[in-house]
A and B are shown apart, each in its own frame.
Chain A
Amino acid sequence: MLTDFGIILLFLIISVLFVGAGLVTAALLRPSRPNPVKNSTYECGEHPWGGSWVRFNPRFYVIALVFLVFDVELVLLFPWAVVFKDLGWFAFLAMLVFFAVLVVGLAYDWAKGYLEWDKPSPQTPKLEDLVLPKKIFHKQQKDS
């Protein structure tokens, strides 16, 4: 019979084996054709250039912060959901209140415009703007 320490040792051995076996099999099976392209950062052919501290659109950060807060609140909802059946109405109401507070937070972000993304306003080309004069265009359409 294993002790608790034995179980941990077993975990360690299995995790080392799992990773090691994967690496070894891959090394045995894969063809070995080294070339300089494979050493570049992005093998797909994108050339990295400039500093890595370029300015991102600040909206990325705002969305990330909003996500961070709401994501972790899930940790409080999860245990409640597991034992939901045994808890009854009081717990349900309590959770509704909690949820309402979260929704207020989201509504606040929404109303303040933190969730808005700069939408591109694509300009649909109009017939008049085309390079070809209308008559020729219609003629071509008819011919084809």
Chain B
Amino acid sequence: MINEFILALPLLLIAIGSILVLMLDAATRNKQIVYYTSILVLLGLGISAGYTLQFDVAIIAQADKTISANTIFYGGMSAVFDIIFAMGGLLTLFASREYLQRNYKEINECYSLVLLAVVGMVVIAHSNSLIMLFLGVELMSIVFYILTGFFRNREHALEAALKYFILGSFASGFLLYGIALIYGSTGSLILSDISQQIASGNYNSIYLSIGLGLMTVGLCFKVAAFPFHQWAPDVYYGSPTAISGFLCTSGKAAALVALVVVAKNVLSVETSNVNYLLESTTARNILAGISACTMIIGNLSALAQKNVKRMLAYSSVAHAGYILMGIVACSTEGFYAVAFYCAVYLFMQVGAFAIVGFIEFRDEGNMLISDYADLRTTHPALAAAMACFMLSLAGIPPFGGFFGKYFLFVAAIKSGYLWLTLIAVVASIISMYFYIGLILTMYFKNNENPINVGKMQGTKLTVALSIIGVILLGIMPNVFYGLFNFTF
């Protein structure tokens, strides 16, 4: 029998740690201490999550869960996502420090806010109750509203924050209504109980169908999937560049893990109730449609962009579409693929945003694609790194992005969604155009006024770690994939 406190170690560490960082921030004027404590806390989260990963899911299932009243899911998938979120937080911290120092002096709050957002994400990944799911989503979103408007004397940032706030809380309303109807239909907020009720056909099918629909709308809003993706590019463009990387990787992964949690417990359940309006296949077909539109629209809009940051923002919409394929597949394999792609996507997108932040000149200069021309001669290392990330985002073989897409495609085909896979292939071919286009600009175009960037050690660390991650996941994906054998 495992003690519940050991299983809850990642949650406890990050929750206490984030409050500790907040207190340190108030207590001392020394910014170094706050920064390094935040890094330590995130490292602790990753290590403790890795520690709980060793326990078999079957053993965890038997553990005594009286303290959390079965509202929290331990180990397995949630531990894998803990590690992903810890990594995302770390890369963001490294990249954001100098970026903020260069643009703005007020930096300590940023670290505690990033940690609090990670708490929200971890709570989502661990939720076995719709209450926890909602609280996690809200904790994360509220922190994101603040982080988006962090440069509070820039009009762009404030405007993005207001847009994000209005649309985000609008979406939370839908999510909440969906939760209320699911609760009314099945009589429980605990997800494992809900799936039992559905399996036994003991629920009100109208409430459940509407509830699931509303919840999907709310979560698709947070993921920035097709009909609800309009806010995403504006927000990612308006927020500080180091933070945009965090929003569109870790934030997106957290919203996707919320969808995974719901799909695992509700969609994948076979029901004996004949009156179920939105039974599994219908719901999955709707999701498949959303996923297909998201990929196509995201990539087509990215094609038209002249600003690198906006291009990456639109391409992140398209990547959400790819990852949704794993949820459409709704199989264990699909969920593995979601986790794998989230990890790879984290490395490549945070790395790319770190470079954009590196090159960005005061007050949003140097952000057009044409500014990147001839980066090869002025900053060869940066150009090479950016080329790596672009190739990985486009899904070219030696890098992790290829295997991420491969696993997603395999999972979708195995669940009978060949048409979705074909659309995804077409979408990634479209995306090659602008990813490769940036590489061509960097390597084969002349620039009359070549850009010059200052020294940023932490950002270099982020870029280096991201490259290592992208290449490692690309040349030996089985190592990471092997982790999943005893999860879920």
Contact = CB atoms under 8 A, between A and B. Distances in A.
Direct contact of A and B (CB under 8 A): yes
Interface of A: 101, 104, 107-108, 110-112
A104 B27 contact: no
Contacts of A104: 19, 22-23
Contacts of A101: 19
A112 B27 CA distance: 9
Contacts of A108: 22-23, 25-26
A75 to B, nearest CB: 15
Contacts of B22: 104, 108
Contacts of A111: 26-27
Interface in B13-35: 19, 22-23, 25-27
A104 B112 CA distance: 13
Contacts of A107: 23, 26
Contacts of A110: 26
14 contacts: A101-B19, A104-B19, A104-B22, A104-B23, A107-B23, A107-B26, A108-B22, A108-B23, A108-B25, A108-B26, A110-B26, A111-B26, A111-B27, A112-B26
A23 to B, nearest CB: 38
Given A101-B19, A104-B22, 12 more contacts: A104-B19, A104-B23, A107-B23, A107-B26, A108-B22, A108-B23, A108-B25, A108-B26, A110-B26, A111-B26, A111-B27, A112-B26
Closest 4 CB pairs of A and B: A111-B26, A108-B26, A104-B19, A112-B26
Contacts, number: 14
Interface of B: 19, 22-23, 25-27
A112 B28 CA distance: 10
A87 to B, nearest CB: 13
A108 B19 CA distance: 10
B139 to A, nearest CB: 13
Contacts of B23: 104, 107-108
A66 to B, nearest CB: 14
Nearest to A100: B19
Nearest to A109: B26
A85 B477 CA distance: 56
A104 B16 CA distance: 11
B431 to A, nearest CB: 43
A110 B26 CA distance: 9
Contacts of B19: 101, 104
A110 B27 CA distance: 10
A68 to B, nearest CB: 13
B142 to A, nearest CB: 11
A101 B23 CA distance: 11
A85 B23 CA distance: 33
Contacts of B27: 111
Nearest to A113: B26
A103 B27 CA distance: 14
Contacts of B25: 108
A104 B25 CA distance: 12
A124 to B, nearest CB: 34
A111 B27 CA distance: 7
A39 B23 CA distance: 54
Nearest to B15: A101
A101 B19 CA distance: 8
B469 to A, nearest CB: 34
A55 B336 CA distance: 55
A97 to B, nearest CB: 10
A112 B25 CA distance: 9
Nearest to B112: A108
A104 B27 CA distance: 11
